[in-house]
Amino acid sequence: MTALKNDTFLRALCKEPVDYTPVWMMRQAGRYLPEYRATRARAGSFMGLCTSPDYATEVTLQPLERFPLDAAILFSDILTVPDAMGLGLYFAEGEGPKFQRPVRDEAAVHALAVPHVEDRLGYVIDAVASIRKALDGRVPLIGFSGSPYTLACYMVEGGGSDDFRHIKAMLYSRPDLLHRILEVNTEAVTAYLNAQIEAGAQAVQIFDTWGGSLTPSAYREFSLAYMQRIVAGLKRENEGRRVPVIVFTKGGGQWLEDIAAIGADAVGLDWTTDIGLARQRVGDRVALQGNLDPAALFGSPESVRQEVARVLAAYGQGSGHVFNLGHGISQHVDPANAAALVEAVHSLSRPYHA
């Protein structure tokens, strides 16, 4: 593989000295970019993008052509894993992802099986290899998966949910069934992320989007414990260097110490957590990623710069910070404000690393 020309992101995750704070954005390849919308139209659908290594490579690189980002992230979707289990993923216009066969009863739960990555998810692994080749060492490539609990939310609810009625009913009335789903998901995610690493992903992130909807005790039992098992099962060295792992629980700020203890290299923060206080709480155990409010990008370039300055000042001196949004970038953001974000991080962060 080609040597990295810019490894600032990887060094920051490992809390090694850097010249500036690196930055990437969750959903940085997405609908706010007109070039993405044009490629998606050619692909015919969102899944048409995801299942084509050529299209996935094209859209992964699009934000890097616009902005001097410090990492690329594989273009895919967290629901490729349950789709590979045969649940029938589809996207309803204006409604988001849906499953034709939700997992809600004992028979459906016990029918679940870990998909064979090469057979069922080979298009994702091919995309990782294709993107690495196209990047040619420019910046590192991030692989990712949804957390076992977040995947289970979609599998049991049959799509997105406002109240998580079905999965919460299962959690409280038949926790044995939910644990069975989480066991399968954990084995699947571990194999999936390891395959991404072997194909060329240089860091991986676990997206625990819905873990924050749980009570503290349920979070530890049904989300965190399974992410800890994934972290323990991941390949942490490849191509002669460490492969850092980032864990991001949206709404998980109250459990930072617990998350920092599971063995990951970095913890992602949403915008509701003060990053300076978070740094005090976790000490030097992990790097921190985040955590600008995505809605700040609806402001002006000047206001974006002010918010970037505030986050950088809150984190303070030294390495161990990867700048990001507290969640994904909105499709309604002006790309000029995304450009202002990246420029501000790069220019304003240098004094903190002097």
Supply the pLDDT for residue 91.
Answer: 83
Supply the pLDDT for residue 93.
Answer: 73
Annotated ligand binding at 105? The verdict is no
CA distance 86 to 83: 5
Q: Name the residue among 12, 7, 6, 5 with its Cα closest to residue 265.
A: 12
Annotated ligand binding at 209? The verdict is yes
CA distance 270 to 60: 23
Supply the pLDDT for residue 173.
Answer: 98
> At 114, which helix (H) or strand (E)?
none
Annotated ligand binding at 29? The verdict is yes
Average of per-residue pLDDT across 53-58:
98
CA distance 93 to 175: 33
Provide the pLDDT confidence category of residue 1 given band limits of 50, 70 and 90: low
% of the chain with per-residue pLDDT over 70:
100
Work out the angle at residue 277's Cα, subtended by the Cα atoms of residues 8 and 210, and round it to the nearest 5 degrees. Answer: 80
CA distance 339 to 354: 24
Does the pLDDT value for residue 95 go beyond 90? no
Give me Rg for the CA atoms of the chain. 19
302-340 pLDDT per residue, tens: 999 999 999 999 999 999 999 999 999 999 999 999 999
Determine the 3-state secondary structure of 323 from DSSP: strand
Supply the pLDDT for residue 96.
Answer: 83
Supply the pLDDT for residue 94.
Answer: 73
Domain ranges of the chain: 8-353
Annotated ligand binding at 186? The verdict is no
pTM of the model: 0.97
4-32 pLDDT per residue, tens: 999 999 999 999 999 999 999 999 999 99
CA distance 97 to 130: 26
Chain centroid offset of residue 172 CA: 28
124-177 pLDDT per residue, tens: 999 999 999 999 999 999 999 999 999 999 999 999 999 999 999 999 999 999
Determine the 3-state secondary structure of 139 from DSSP: coil
Annotated ligand binding at 101? The verdict is no
Spatial CB neighbours of 5, under 8 Å, sequence gap ≥ 6: 137, 138, 139
For residue 288, give both structure tokens: 């921190």
Provide the pLDDT confidence category of residue 3 given band limits of 50, 70 and 90: confident
Backbone angles phi, psi at 227, to 5 degrees: -65, -35
| CA atoms within 13 A of residue 265's CA, in its CB half-sphere | 24
Instruction: Give yes or no for a contact between 323 and 305, defined as CB atoms under 8 angstroms apart.
Output: no
For residue 218, give both structure tokens: 């349920």
242-263 pLDDT per residue, tens: 999 999 999 999 999 999 999 9
Annotated ligand binding at 77? The verdict is yes
Q: CA 55, 84, 324, 336 torsion: positive or negative?
A: positive
CA distance 114 to 167: 20
Instruction: Give yes or no for a contact between 26 and 32, defined as CB atoms under 8 angstroms apart.
Output: no
Plot region of 204 (φ>0 → left; ψ -120 to 50 → alpha; else → beta): beta
Side chain identity, residue 338: A
Does the pLDDT value for residue 186 go beyond 70? yes
Annotated ligand binding at 37? The verdict is no
Instruction: Give yes or no for a contact between 322 and 9, defined as CB atoms under 8 angstroms apart.
Output: yes
> At 282, which helix (H) or strand (E)?
helix 275-282
Cα-based distances in Å from 107 to 86, 102, 111, 181: 14, 11, 6, 12
Supply the pLDDT for residue 325.
Answer: 98
Work out the angle at residue 143's Cα, subtended by the Cα atoms of residues 260 and 352, and round it to the nearest 5 degrees. Answer: 55
Residues annotated catalytic, as ranges? 27, 31, 40, 77, 154
DSSP track, 287-314: EEEEEE-GGGGGS-HHHHHHHHHHHHHH
CATH topology of domain 8-353: TIM Barrel (3.20.20)
